[in-house]
Amino acid sequence: MDPVTPSLHVAGLAFAYPDGHQALFGVDFTVGRGERVALLGPNGAGKTTLVLHLNGILSGGTGTVTVAGLPVGKKHMAEIRRKVGIVFQDPDDQLFMPTVREDVAFGPATAGLKGAELEARVDRALEQVGMADFKDRPPHHLSFGQRRRVAVATVLAMEPEILVLDEPSSNLDPASRRELADILRSLDVTVLMVTHDLPYALELCPRSLILSDGVIAADGETGEVLADDALMRTHRLELPFGFDPRSVASAAGRP
């Protein structure tokens, strides 16, 4: 892909559910190749609805979503779903095979990969998340943090353009949280991270979007967004007690 072609471009995206509930009212933003961007917002803001449009799970509204230059629609759906990898909040929603290796192999095998090429793809994805030594283990024997890393590997095995993470730090102990942060910083992939964990957004994502009432209410450098007290109050976002983004050196740009 041409490096100047953005990984994701959303223009005028509006969507209402069949019951009449309008979730998105015209969402516009662009994510460049290799960016790590946090998607913030209160519950009910439309974040899940937006994410489900990125790989065509939801459609039928107005506006456009373009992934690596391809419009999301029936014509390109198989390629779009390979390019947009979604890691769900609960890793057990993605792990269902008897072993870690089989879980990571499932997507590429379904896409037609086999033999040595498939094994190499699985090994590479597990190495990226530090789980190569667990290839033959049943996923349910792993810790929650390990299962989350394997869930990330199942997506990386498809070699996506964009990694979409839904609350990646939830239910992780501090060590697992740090390990996952190190992994995400090491990946050569565009990241869109949906999170309520604002310190994690500051640590990992140089840029943040606030989605509120179905529109993008803010788009800027993460530290500046989190330090805007009036903006945060307006959109029902609260930092942990005692956490001051002004006094924290962001590690988002760290290699």
Q: Which residues contact 242 (CB under 8 A, 6 or more apart)?
A: none
Q: Which domains does the chain have, with CATH numbers?
A: 8-237 (3.40.50.300)
Residue position matching structure tokens 């969402």: 27
Q: Residue 250: pLDDT band by 50, 70, 90 thresholds?
A: very low
Per the DSSP assignment, residues forming a β-bridge with 56 are: none
Per-residue pLDDT of 163-181, as tens digits, reads 999 999 999 999 999 999 9
* Helix (H) or strand (E) run with residue 11 in it: strand 8-16
Decide: 58 and 49 in contact? Cβ < 8 Å: yes
Scored b (16 or more CB within 10 A) or e, 124-146 reads ebbebbbbeebbebebeebeebb
Decide: 217 and 235 in contact? Cβ < 8 Å: yes
Per-residue pLDDT of 22-43, as tens digits, reads 999 999 999 999 999 999 999 9
* Helix (H) or strand (E) run with residue 71 in it: strand 70-71
Q: Please name which of 89, 86, 95, 160 lies closest in space to residue 121, comparing C-alpha atoms.
A: 160
Per-residue pLDDT of 105-130, as tens digits, reads 999 999 999 999 999 999 999 999 99
Q: Please name which of 80, 162, 150, 85 lies closest in space to residue 122, comparing C-alpha atoms.
A: 150
Task: Report which residue type is found at 211.
Answer: L
Q: Is 164 helix (H, G, I), strand (E, B) or coil?
A: strand
**Model confidence at 206: pLDDT above 60:** yes
Rounded Cα distance, 54 and 140, in Å: 30
What's the pTM value of the predicted model, to 2 decimals?
A: 0.93
Decide: 164 and 51 in contact? Cβ < 8 Å: yes
**Span 46-61, average pLDDT:** 94
Q: Which of left, alpha, beta for 172 (phi over 0: left; psi -120 to 50: alpha)?
A: beta
At 247 the pLDDT is 81
Rounded Cα distance, 168 and 164, in Å: 10
Residue position matching structure tokens 């509204």: 61
Which residue did the predictor score with more confidence, 115 or 4? 115
**Span 223-243, average pLDDT:** 94
Provide DSSP, 42-66.
Answer: -TTSSHHHHHHHHTTSS--SEEEEE
At 2 the pLDDT is 57
At 252 the pLDDT is 44
